[in-house]
A and B are shown apart, each in its own frame.
Chain A
């Protein structure tokens, strides 16, 4: 797992290789640490985590800005509400 600041107001969370519940738990904990308006890039390769992360963001009001998927790798950007 890797979590780092990748730019001004931007963070990267790399949870590739993890299965549930790690990707969604780490995403939740990373978003809790961000300030409103900051953006988190989440990289994961466990497809089912995507469903949970999307619903979690919908519940908290955080906005999923974009979702890219290629060869089993998912890269999402989420803006903290």
Chain B
């Protein structure tokens, strides 16, 4: 594609988004709420593509090729988002709610981690790669979406796999009659097990509240993010970065590493990939500002959830039984993609409003007026613009082999997302940043899953490489 054509397509994407912004605002000012999601999605897409920001590579590349750049980038983004998040929490307008904490987060993270290794990218990574023209990544996104929508509504034979205690506990929750809580594995898992687990934060565990200054900055930011993050990077430095750095110093004539060399090596690891570090910085700040902007609009319009705005605009189809739709107020992926498929399935006759995920929590509004969907669509656009500007856009068709990995990986990520109540962004990045210990548990599981995934692909690629080498 020529430079002129690339420029044309980049401007066309931005132009379309501007047109949507202007036209919908002219129609009704409530659409501003959706366009805030849209433009933050666009920024996320640009940052992700620019920094090749993929959570999958953070864990996988450590084990696969000994490269720590993404683990560093993610910790930078988490620390910055956490800092902005602490400001938001301390001012009492945070939109974040901690998730229940238990071993389920580790198991979910493990399944998700294996999946992201198979598919070649995490949920957000697959989305930005789709924007680069990678149809393999688009297949991953589709697989995640379909799997989630099917998984959350599986009942029948799957009910036999539910422990009796979960069924009893779920039935006792007193959910509305439209939610068939004792029919469906995920429903009984959620209402019968997950909801019974403690909801924690580092601030609360230290005896403070999340919205106090000391709780937000000292509890959730310093103790919950900075200290464990810095410690993790020390581990990464000693196992994956120090050796190469010290080898260079020894080659340069130095005889023995000193403490200041260790500090220099630690800093060199952090700055090893400027693109990733810059993207982490921008992502962290954008994710924090996103919370501010959405909460500001909620105050302005006097609502607590976008469902109320959609209803005022005359869209009442697909609202949950509580009158809500999925409206996190910050960066999130996977739930809104599940909603696309859930909406389509419901329209085709598969009742998706009788389960907790759609019917009670998130709804299945028309994708055209679904706030979080606007974020995802714009994320594709932002990634495409960045790829076009850097001459990295290339339409790539999947092969049978890569399509197989994409479908398997996407399915595992879909299941992991629903078990963990979120993906690498919602269940890990956001939760860790906001001082929710369940985020670290999900991350721990992802590390384990990535390790197993890498073991498999080491075997697979070694087998193929040995064959090719013998022929060469």
Contacts and interface: CB of A to CB of B under 8 A. Distances in A.
A34 to B, nearest CB: 10
Contacts of A5: 472
Contact of B64 (A24, A30, A45, A48): A24
Interface in B123-168: 125, 129, 132-134, 136-137
A21 B60 contact: yes
B464 interface: yes
- Most chain A CB atoms below 10 A, which of B247, B396, B471: B396
A65 B125 CA distance: 29
Nearest to A69: B391
11 contacts: A4-B472, A18-B120, A20-B57, A20-B120, A29-B465, A46-B120, A48-B57, A59-B243, A69-B392, A70-B391, A72-B387
Contacts of A11: 472
B394 A45 contact: yes
Contact of B65 (A46, A47, A56, A61): A56
B461 A25 contact: yes
Interface string A64-81: 000001111100000000
A19 B134 contact: yes
Nearest to B273: A51
B172 to A, nearest CB: 45
A51 B465 contact: no
B259 interface: no
Contacts of B1: 71
A21 B454 CA distance: 8
Contact of B391 (A20, A61, A71): A71
A14 B52 CA distance: 21
Given A20-B60, A59-B67, A72 B391 contact: yes
B165 to A, nearest CB: 40
B54 interface: yes
A20 B54 contact: yes
Contacts of B402: 17-19
Nearest to B269: A55
B198 interface: no
B394 A72 contact: yes
A42 B458 CA distance: 19
A35 interface: no
Interface string B444-459: 0000000000100110
B336 to A, nearest CB: 23
B403 to A, nearest CB: 11
A22 B461 contact: yes
A17 B120 contact: no
Range class of the B interface residue count: 35 or more
A16 to B, nearest CB: 8
B61 A72 contact: no
Given A4-B468, A33-B469, A55 B137 contact: no
B7 interface: no
A66 to B, nearest CB: 17
A44 to B, nearest CB: 11
A60 B60 CA distance: 18
Interface string B424-467: 00000000000000000000000000000010011001101100
A71 B397 CA distance: 15
A22 B120 contact: yes
Contacts of A26: 461, 465
A23 to B, nearest CB: 10
Which of A1, A21, A24 has the most C-beta atoms of chain B within 10 angstroms of its own C-beta? A21
Task: Give the 10 A-B residue pairs with the shortest CB-CB distance, closest first.
Answer: A72-B394, A19-B120, A48-B52, A3-B468, A59-B244, A29-B465, A55-B67, A56-B65, A4-B472, A5-B472
A46 B57 contact: no
Nearest to B390: A47
A30 B465 CA distance: 7
Contacts of B60: 20-21
Contacts of A21: 57, 60-61, 64-65, 117, 120, 454, 457
A25 B472 contact: no
Interface string B352-395: 00000000000000000000000000000000000100011110
B303 to A, nearest CB: 39
A71 B395 CA distance: 10
A47 B52 contact: yes
B412 to A, nearest CB: 16
